[in-house]
Amino acid sequence: WRGIASAATAIAAALLVTLGLQIYKPDALPNAIRPKPRIQTVEVKTPAPTLTPSAQYVALLQGQNGGPAFIMTIDGATKNFTVRKVGAPSEPGKSFELWLISDKLPQPRSLGVIGADDFTARPVLSGYDSDVINGATYAVTVEQAGGSPNGQPTSAPIFTGKLIETVPGASASPPR
């Protein structure tokens, strides 16, 4: 019986050593008895990014008499703009056309005809650099119905204005 007990003890010790190696040092075991690696896919849910406020700009387009004719707002992140008609008298058979005038551009660029409704919104500023947008003069001319036929103003601007920042962007530092 002693021989059987010694053999059983040796087998148990070998199994404990093998089990310990499998748990703590699996690389020390021969490939045949090494445990297969387990691949676990873990899904980590991250919270949705918070929207950082973008800078907002406004330009008051007014004529020689100083009264406001249009209010233009621009979202700094999307570069979309909205023009609101506030005091410009409509002329039958004519259209108001908005222009971007910058010393960084060779000629004025049309931003389109201002619609007959109170609000006109467009995304056409996305092709312009922020420096051009922020430093430009915005002007309104009276054109034939449908706008300028050749892409250039056919009359002198009757309303003009420049942008001012009304809501700072997320990177702006608070006033001191």
Q: What average pLDDT score do residues 110-114 get?
A: 91
CB atoms within 10 A of CB 82: 14
pLDDT tens-digit readout, 138-175? 999 999 988 888 889 998 999 999 998 887 766 544 44
pLDDT tens-digit readout, 48-98? 555 455 788 899 988 887 778 899 998 888 888 999 998 888 888 889 999
Distance CA 108, CA 145 (A): 19
Give the global pTM: 0.65
